[in-house]
Amino acid sequence: QLSRRLQLVATYVPKGAKTADIGSDHAYLPCYLCLTDETATAIAGEVNEGPYQSAQSQVRQSGLTERVSVRKGNGLAVIEAQDGVDVVTVAGMGGALITTILAEGKDKLTNVSRLILQPNVSASTIRLWLDQNGWTLKAEEIIEEDDKIYEILVADHGENKSLYETNKEQKMLLGPFLMDECNEAFQKKWTYEKINWERILTQFEKATETVELKEKKEELKKKIEMVKEV
């Protein structure tokens, strides 16, 4: 049974897509995509030997060796121009690592139309990169599973200037679609973050002030205010 988190990622993959799942571990997502859509094909990319082996055996066990290609390599380097990949998924990593993978493999994204990204932390780093690199956020999800909160960002190639026209910083931090929806998982995540920042701020207040500390305090206060507003 695929996790609800990866099932939700899968709902954003169009029928018949050729998907490259980067950091695929057991290749659960590529196998699920191909088992639920007979017109789908996929690449499972892995940089580490253990997860690469797991992905290979999962694909074999699922009888999908003709449709899921398991490849060993760093990030988007496993994608070749002739693969015709139209969707890239990267799930279960930090936002900074996902952003590095996209930035380092930028030339592999020219013909990709959709990115589905599931950061465990720092989704804001990804939102900023997408906005600066010609990708438009189309949808966002936030869910709680096994006591963890996950965000999913869906972006399509092309610019949309209007998305961050107002309150840009706040939308980058919280997510424009997630802010509007303001569901239970969203409220839980940001209530927790706010309490945590307030705790840090109290500690900072007790310390001797330096220019650096002052800046950090201002930054925290700003973020607390942005969360309070929603």
Pick 10 or 179: Cβ nearer ligand SAM = 10
Kindly state the smallest distance separating residue 143's Cβ from ligand SAM, in Å: 13
Phi-psi region of 170 (alpha: psi -120 to 50; beta: other; left: phi over 0): alpha
Kindly state the smallest distance separating residue 28's Cβ from ligand SAM, in Å: 7
DSSP string, 111-173: T--EEEEEESS-HHHHHHHHHHTTEEEEEEEEEEETTEEEEEEEEEES--GGGGSSSHHHHHH
- The dihedrals phi and psi of 151, each to the nearest 5 degrees, come to -115, 145
Cα–Cα distance measured from residue 161 to residue 156, given in angstroms and rounded to the nearest whole number = 13
Member of 18, 33, 75, 189 binding ligand SAM (CB under 6 A): 75
Cα–Cα distance measured from residue 8 to residue 95, given in angstroms and rounded to the nearest whole number = 18
Mark 88-114 as b/e (b = at least 16 C-beta within 10 Å).
bbbbbbebebbbebbeebeebbeebeb
Pick 129 or 223: Cβ nearer ligand SAM = 129
Kindly state the smallest distance separating residue 30's Cβ from ligand SAM, in Å: 10
Torsion angle of alpha carbons 16, 21, 24, 27, nearest 10°?
Answer: 10
93 interacts with ligand SAM by CB under 6 A: yes
3-state DSSP call for residue 226? helix
131 interacts with ligand SAM by CB under 6 A: no
Pick 73 or 158: Cβ nearer ligand SAM = 73
Q: With CB under 6 A as the contact rule, which of the stretches 87-95, 173-181, 205-213, 217-225 interacts with ligand SAM?
A: 87-95
Member of 44, 91, 112, 115 binding ligand SAM (CB under 6 A): 91
101 interacts with ligand SAM by CB under 6 A: yes
Member of 48, 57, 183, 187 binding ligand SAM (CB under 6 A): 48
Member of 2, 7, 35, 47 binding ligand SAM (CB under 6 A): 47
Q: Can you give the binding site for ligand SAM, defined by CB under 6 A?
A: 6, 22-25, 45-48, 51, 74-75, 91-93, 101
